[in-house]
Structure 1
Amino acid sequence: MAAPATPAIPTIPEYLSKVYTWAYLTPAYSRFLDTSLVVSSILWGNANRLMRAGFSEFKPGQEVLQPACVYGCFSSKLAEVLGPEGKLHVTDVAPNQIDACRTKLAGFPTATMNLADAADPRDRSYDGVCCFFLLHEVPEDYKHRIVKSLLDATRPGGKTVFVDYHGPNRWHPLRPLMIQVWRLLEPYALALSDHDIITYAPPDLAQDFVWRKETYFGGLYQKVVATRKPQGA
């Protein structure tokens, strides 16, 4: 019997090395950013609220995919929600991010981590997918590929949950500042002010899901939940 093929190690996407080397591929900066205090500051004190919003869509015992590593305590808190009978599968394209996440999840034996590009097709399906602040960091073509990949990986009755930036209300006092931050540091984030996440899904695939959207903190953040319809529905 032939040995199973070893999964190919994904290459670092050009956009990541071009725009985010300082944030995700440089260990010294990563260690500084990878704290709950920094994450809370970046999200204007809304980190815990947004994590709770995402986690509320899952329950103990489920098998959930986290398609990119997240700074702070996100992964360990999600693993706690899923409990000892649940399974958390974390993937990322950067080896140093996987190594850091492995350390955080050392106390959760059912959690697994491996290298994978969020835009590539999955070879398995999940009860849920939790995509936390990933889409704003990728170019438009990647947004389309990632949304399709994550929806495809969701079982009937399961949920794909996106928590990310959103276009803040026009009266929002932070709107001018955030627009400048996005232009300087997060050049792919502005698109989420103009496009609903559902528009990144292929229309025929989007019809297989029931979509729900909520916004937070004056519209600066959003949660989009896509629940896959039962087979035959």
Structure 2
Amino acid sequence: MNKPHAVVPDVALESLDKDDPDLPASRPVSVQSVPEIPEYLRKVYTWAYLTPAYSRYLDTSLVVSAILWGNMNRLMRAGFSEFEPGQSVLQPACVYGSFSAHLAARLQPGGHLHVTDVAANQVEACRAKLTDYPNSLVGFADAAHPRDRDYDGVCCFFLLHEVPEDYKRRIVDSLLAATRPGGKTVFVDYHGPHWAHPLRPIMIVVWRLLEPYAIALSKNEIRSYASKDLADAFTWRKETYFGGLYQKVVAERRP
């Protein structure tokens, strides 16, 4: 669904102050600001995220729904339900399909959506989807890199399963640290399906062949990737869906 995020050269993160009057999503991409694509992204996910022909095919709601076994709308609603109009929310990776547009709409009126990614083609595609949402801004940033601001909420939708274990830890800490007191960090991703789930054998094969970093989420709690000090600053809750194949984890920062 998303793509791995590794350390990239320092790139100025576009401001998204809560009182910004205008947040156009379709700003041009500067050649100088395009970060280097990490090696493991090229090795594992070039076909899915860096090849324009495949990206155009995959970047449709129909394909995304099929990949998620018909659960796309249910899982999107699960994530959106944690946020309210007027909030500022970070989406730390571009997502195929209509996810970003629905989230931007959810935050209206008065809210802001900030979407970031490391791949230029994904940033451009997301900007095109959000041109009708002046409350949104799309730019470059690494999900594992500390933010220069904080947010009322963070919505991490199907990102963790596509990054190695060390990046999972760095991303979780980065997103928790970017959440204001009283705010929420929401993770929607894969989970370990029930042992009798009819799709379990299929998903294990898919993960091993196409998503080598995903199977860890069937064994480890998302909270376990957070450093202890940050984890203890939040209250945690988890819901599972579709026989345990998917999960929503909500970390709410104590006031």
Bucket of the pairwise TM-score, normalised by the shorter protein: over 0.9
CA distance, structure 1, for counterparts of residue 232 and residue 106 of structure 2: 29
For the pair 1:135 / 2:143, whether they are aligned, the reply is no
The answer for the alignment partner of 2:70 in structure 1 is 45
Per-residue CA deviations over 1:88-113 (Å, capped at 9, x if unaligned) read: 00000101000000000000011001
The answer for the alignment partner of 1:201 in structure 2 is 226
Per-residue CA deviations over 1:157-211 (Å, capped at 9, x if unaligned) read: 0000000000000010000000000000000000001100000000111000000
CA distance, structure 2, for counterparts of residue 189 and residue 52 of structure 1: 22
Where in structure 1 are there 5+ consecutive unaligned residues?
none
Q: Report the alpha carbon displacement of residue 9 of structure 1 after superposing the two structures with TM.
A: 4.5
Letter in 1 for 2:43: K
Match of residue 108, structure 1, among 130, 133, 144: 133
Aligned residues: 226
| Contact 1:10-1:117 within 8 A present in 2 as well | no
Q: Report the alpha carbon displacement of residue 6 of structure 1 after superposing the two structures with TM.
A: 6.3
The answer for the alignment partner of 1:186 in structure 2 is 211
- Runs of 4+ in structure 1 off by over 4 angstroms are none
Per-residue CA deviations over 1:61-84 (Å, capped at 9, x if unaligned) read: 000000000000000000110013
Matches within 5 A, 1:32-181: 32-181=57-206
The answer for the alignment partner of 1:16 in structure 2 is 41
CA distance, structure 2, for counterparts of residue 127 and residue 58 of structure 1: 9
Q: Report the alpha carbon displacement of residue 13 of structure 1 after superposing the two structures with TM.
A: 2.0
CA distance, structure 2, for counterparts of residue 12 and residue 148 of structure 1: 22
CA distance, structure 2, for counterparts of residue 224 and residue 32 of structure 1: 29
| Contact 2:34-2:119 within 8 A present in 1 as well | no
Q: 1:144 to 1:6 in 2, by over 3 A?
A: closer
| Contact 1:212-1:225 within 8 A present in 2 as well | yes
SS in 2 for 1:20: helix
TM-score by length of 2: 0.87
Where in structure 2 are there 5+ consecutive unaligned residues?
1-9, 13-32
Match of residue 25, structure 1, among 50, 62, 76: 50
Letter in 1 for 2:107: L
CA distance, structure 2, for counterparts of residue 56 and residue 31 of structure 1: 28
| Contact 1:63-1:128 within 8 A present in 2 as well | yes
SS in 2 for 1:173: coil
Q: Report the alpha carbon displacement of residue 114 of structure 1 after superposing the two structures with TM.
A: 0.5
CA distance, structure 2, for counterparts of residue 208 and residue 10 of structure 1: 32
The answer for the alignment partner of 2:30 in structure 1 is none
Work out the percentage of aligned pairs sharing the same amino acid: 75
| Contact 1:159-1:228 within 8 A present in 2 as well | yes
Q: Which has the higher contact order (CA 8 A, sep 6+)?
A: 2
CA distance, structure 1, for counterparts of residue 48 and residue 84 of structure 2: 31
CA distance, structure 1, for counterparts of residue 99 and residue 59 of structure 2: 10
CA distance, structure 2, for counterparts of residue 9 and residue 73 of structure 1: 24
